[in-house]
Structure 1
Amino acid sequence: MSFDGDEEEREHIDRRVRYAGEDISPTTTRELKGWYAYPIAAEVFAVVAVGAFLPVILEQLARENGVFFSDRTKPCVEVSSSAKFRLRDEDVKKETEQCMVTMLGKTMSTSSFAMYTFSAAVLVQALTLVCFSSFADHGPYRKKMLMTFAYTGSVASCLFIFITPTLYFLAPILVIVGVASLGCSFVLLNAFLPLLVANHPDNSSSKLLSEDSSSDFELEALNPESGGPRSIRTDPDRLARDLERSAQISSKGVGYGYIAAVFVQIFSIMILWLFGKTAIQKRHPSLSIRVILLLVGIWWAALATPTLLWLRERPGPPLPTQHKHGFSSQSSSRFRTFLFYTSFSLRSFWRTLLRAISLRQTTKFLISWFLLSDAVATISGTAVLFARTELHMGTIAIALLSITSIGSGIVGAFAWPRVQKHFGLQPKSVLLCCVAGMEIIPLYGLLGYIPWVQKLGFIGLQRAWEIYPIAVLHGTVMGGISSYARSVYAPLIPEGSEAAFFALYAVTDKGSSAFGPALVGWIVDHAGIIRPAFIFLAVLVVLPAPLLWWLDVEKGRNDARAMAEGDERGRGAYERVDED
């Protein structure tokens, strides 16, 4: 069947402007470069700062103000008459003993001080996403918010240069601001991806019409919410092509970001090595890390500039007006306007949550993802602090540990698809394999409690070198989890509600990480050492496995399709009533 006669009309339908201000201009190479620039800028903070140095500097600053767990009258670090720092535990204490510090009237170990800080940071990040998501999906606010979070986070990183041990109580504030800004900015960046794919030149109607007859199909699987009516997905081939293009763009961005992170991490090791050759390091143990965080902040701000200049705003539908909801926009104050749009975001999120709960398989996955993402984030932070405080690894060694994990993650991202293809596995099966691999990490740490293993002097993370193979395993498994979690979740979403449900996915991911680190901190505070926390981690990792095992993706897909068809019928009835 030929479509030459009505091709022009169909192209007009596909490319129509659905609301005032919509930008449907083709995606350009310059715009893609602007999108790629942001992972290069921000992934450095994620890997170098959050993944390696922020836990270390939080623990170090707290340690310089701390006392021993067994004797609260003796400081862990003291200043001699020559103004050089000396660790007392090198002289009179066992190196495995935790230091305690008082913060906001609560006594905690210096390790849990870092864990509590990261719990607060991800909680603030999740709340920010929930409260301000409406601004990102409407008007020109998506890019404005992206750049605001980018420069706020970069400034927070730079300000660490002024955080001396006497100002250690300000460090958690900067960490919370930096981590929350990082997470929110990446969510906003990912919101551009569907638009880049939807407006890609290869998506022109003339090309699609020659491939199949469903030329009026809307890219609903990747488009954020729009002002016009949605249609049910009817062309799986086009959807597959768009998902493939989205994956290609996303993977390239992640790859560029990791390459930049490895480069800056190597440069950071050089800085640490140079500081180690000077007397400054002895007088100011945290200064070298603070310099690195300053450089990371500058990198983040500078490399985000191409994003500011080249990435188009791609405005969303106009925000709903207060006048429609019983408010007079002329008499409303700015604060009242802020409250109105914040409540709009909360109501939207609540409606999405209720819809997700009504889908049993979708709910089952979200609960399992909540537990799994919490376990992954908690293991990462606990491993760094365990290496620092109980394996007594230096800052350079921890930086090398970060590079090991990143490199393994890149390998894992490419290796797992080959494993899946070779053995004919479903995405859910790959995710279960990754959970099993992650479970090995805390179980290996618990081997250190077995008496005959203790006599060997190694195995069970008794020696520093043992954590490097663990880092390889962690990175490889993380590569699989990052790649396949979305693949399992995507079919469980009602067609036409992808943006809202992926926002719920992001909040579930970010918000869960507030609980595990806090519980590990509580365990360390009461035990005085980190190793008992491996028991909690072993349980936490295995909890999502039964839910994933019982997950019926096919049934979930059918339930989501039924909900989408009901929504479509409801919209059609509403439009008919409105016309009458």
Structure 2
Amino acid sequence: MSAGTIPGGAGPADGFADLTAVDRRRQQRAWNWYDWANSAYYTTVLSVMFGPYLATVAGRAAGCASGEDPCSRTVSVLGIPLAAGSLPLYVTTFATIVSAFLLPVVGAFVDRSPRKKMHMAWTAWAGAFFCALLFFVKGDDWQLGVVTVVLSSVLAGCSLVSYYAILVDISTEEERDGASSRGWAWGYLGGGILLALNLVLFLGHRSFGVSEGMAVRVSLLSAGLWWAGFTIIPVLRLRNYAPRGVVPARGTLVERSFGQLITTLRELRAFPMTLTFLVAYLFYNDGIQTVLYAAAIYGDKQLHLSQTVLIATILMIQFVAFGGALFFGRMAARHGAYRLILTGVLIWMVVVIAAMFLPARNAVLFAILAIVIGVVMGGTQALSRSFFSLLIPRGREGEYFALYNAAERGTSWFGMLLFGLVFQFSGSYRPAVAALVVFFVLGAVFLRRLDPEQGIREAGNAVPGAA
């Protein structure tokens, strides 16, 4: 048994019951720091900087002239010709598919480990290392960018499997919504602060005496350093917790991992409410991710807003989401996470329909809609994580959260496909945005089929008072 590991067993020693409320809150504060740490990667790298930069670097290799945007000439990836301008999308899609297959196996391993925080740490530090290597992507060396971003993205997903599983060890059912909401809020704040600093460097690169490309490379490097550096805090402060309720398995580590994966997939039939929520989350989360990705395109190409307005809006969403996560967390204490998630999905329906009718060049209305997006985005994402934790049988946290992440990562391209197809056939981004309402409608339909109390009891967890 490793130092600091709390032994499992029956009664109060099993789980979080042996921790006082003060001690649990201290552990939750330490846990929040990893949201702060990894959000820098998702905001600065994946959401803002990496895609346009890789397209530019690949465009040079393809022979596109400076200012030719987007570049339709191709580069060869394993013998397959791909348009330079589309390369970032293909790379991200490939990373999500790899993650969808890998994460359940990682989750099975995490459930059997008494050192969850160290698995989180080592995968985080490895991911941050590959993220930092993006600094060396320059000229026409797009291959290094492809390899490093795929590895960093997959490793980030692996670290989150352990991170989410730890939430169950450090909080009671009653505390889960608040703990998850504070974590998401902390993540939005940390990611927003670094993104703001990087955008200052990027927009004022001449004042700092660096080229635009160097400003991007420094920003990518800063995300890796931020991610690695702040991960040290939860590693030092979090405890390790012994695995509980793990089904005995034989064979090698890989055989045991796949064996538990198969067992979990079979068990899902015995937890219909858990499966129903996973399907609902698959749909409405896909809609959320697509809206966030398409917002800049819609604002630029359809509403003809300036880059200054769009950048300011991106930052505003990050900081508004900080407050939105905390607000939804407090409301969940009164009304329950399930009701707040369903309310959030209904608000998303209104958002995408309203976006269709936004007048061009009206920055004020665009900003108002962005504020609504920030509030509801922070709330729905935070409460989805905590609510799903209540639908997981004890000892299966890593495996089930791996399925949760796999559902998110492996299908998050459906929304972009629909968005692109509607634009291609209509020639306008307005109906393309409105078409995304289908994902929220389907999410709401499955949520309405869910009985939260039944699902929580079936998983063997206590029903929070506001559920």
TM-score by length of 1: 0.65
Asked if 1:269 corresponds to 2:269, the answer is: no
SS, match of residue 316 in structure 1: coil
Asked if 1:37 corresponds to 2:9, the answer is: no
Indicate the residue corresponding to 1:300 in structure 2: 227
Asked if 1:434 corresponds to 2:344, the answer is: yes
Asked if 1:162 corresponds to 2:136, the answer is: yes
The structure 1 residue matched to 2:289, chosen from 368, 374, 377, is 377
Tell me: CA distance 1:119–1:382, structure 2 relative to 1, closer, same or farther (3 Å): farther
C-alpha distance in 2 between matches for 1:28 and 1:420: 19
Indicate the residue corresponding to 1:409 in structure 2: 321
The structure 2 residue matched to 1:351, chosen from 263, 280, 284, is 263
Asked if 1:549 corresponds to 2:459, the answer is: no
C-alpha distance in 2 between matches for 1:53 and 1:527: 29
The structure 1 residue matched to 2:436, chosen from 533, 537, 549, is 537
C-alpha distance in 2 between matches for 1:320 and 1:362: 19
C-alpha distance in 2 between matches for 1:516 and 1:290: 30
Indicate the residue corresponding to 1:342 in structure 2: 254
Q: CA deviation at 1:496?
A: 7.0
- AA partner of residue 52 (structure 1): V
Tell me: CA distance 1:528–1:277, structure 2 relative to 1, closer, same or farther (3 Å): farther
Q: How does 1:272-283 map to 2 (within 5 A)?
A: 272-277=202-207, 281=211
Q: How does 1:337-486 map to 2 (within 5 A)?
A: 340-387=252-299, 397-416=309-328, 427-447=337-357, 459-460=358-359, 467-486=366-385
Q: Is the contact made by 1:138 and 1:318 (CA closer than 8 Å) also made in structure 2? A: no
Greater CA drift, 383-392 or 435-444: 383-392
C-alpha distance in 1 between matches for 2:103 and 2:49: 25
Q: Is the contact made by 2:37 and 2:228 (CA closer than 8 Å) also made in structure 1? A: yes
C-alpha distance in 1 between matches for 2:126 and 2:111: 21
Q: CA deviation at 1:157?
A: 2.0
Identical-residue share of aligned pairs (%):
23
Q: CA deviation at 1:101?
A: 4.0
Asked if 1:133 corresponds to 2:107, the answer is: yes
C-alpha distance in 2 between matches for 1:319 and 1:553: 24
Q: Is the contact made by 2:135 and 2:218 (CA closer than 8 Å) also made in structure 1? A: yes
Q: CA deviation at 1:166?
A: 0.6
The structure 2 residue matched to 1:55, chosen from 51, 62, 68, is 51
User: Which string of whole-angstrom CA distances, capped at 9 and with x for unpartnered residues, describes residues 55-88 of structure 1?
Assistant: 3334444555678xxxxxxx4x43xxxxxxxx25
The structure 1 residue matched to 2:213, chosen from 286, 291, 302, is 286
Query: Aligned residues, how many?
Result: 447
C-alpha distance in 2 between matches for 1:549 and 1:25: 35
C-alpha distance in 2 between matches for 1:57 and 1:427: 39
- AA partner of residue 173 (structure 2): L
SS, match of residue 72 in structure 2: strand
Q: How does 1:485-504 map to 2 (within 5 A)?
A: 485-486=384-385, 489=388, 492-493=391-392, 500-504=399-403
SS, match of residue 241 in structure 2: coil
Q: Gapped runs of 5+ residues in structure 1?
A: 1-11, 19-23, 68-74, 79-86, 90-97, 198-241, 326-339, 448-458, 565-580
Greater CA drift, 340-349 or 57-66: 57-66
Greater CA drift, 473-482 or 391-400: 391-400
Indicate the residue corresponding to 2:184 in structure 1: 254
Q: Is the contact made by 2:338 and 2:387 (CA closer than 8 Å) also made in structure 1? A: yes
Tell me: CA distance 1:124–1:107, structure 2 relative to 1, closer, same or farther (3 Å): closer
Q: CA deviation at 1:506?
A: 3.5
Tell me: CA distance 1:31–1:373, structure 2 relative to 1, closer, same or farther (3 Å): closer
Between Structure 1 and Structure 2, whose CA radius of gyration is higher?
1
C-alpha distance in 2 between matches for 1:436 and 1:38: 30
Tell me: CA distance 1:539–1:250, structure 2 relative to 1, closer, same or farther (3 Å): closer
Q: Gapped runs of 5+ residues in structure 2?
A: 1-8, 462-467
TM-score by length of 2: 0.79
Indicate the residue corresponding to 2:464 in structure 1: none
Q: CA deviation at 1:46?
A: 2.4
Q: CA deviation at 1:275?
A: 0.4
User: Which string of whole-angstrom CA distances, capped at 9 and with x for unpartnered residues, describes residues 531-550 of structure 1?
Assistant: 66435423333222222233
Q: CA deviation at 1:180?
A: 2.2
SS, match of residue 179 in structure 1: helix
Q: How does 1:501-520 map to 2 (within 5 A)?
A: 501-517=400-416, 520=419
Q: Is the contact made by 2:177 and 2:383 (CA closer than 8 Å) also made in structure 1? A: no
Indicate the residue corresponding to 2:3 in structure 1: none
CA root-mean-square deviation: 4.0
Tell me: CA distance 1:426–1:34, structure 2 relative to 1, closer, same or farther (3 Å): closer
Tell me: CA distance 1:414–1:40, structure 2 relative to 1, closer, same or farther (3 Å): closer
Indicate the residue corresponding to 2:465 in structure 1: none
Q: Is the contact made by 2:201 and 2:208 (CA closer than 8 Å) also made in structure 1? A: no
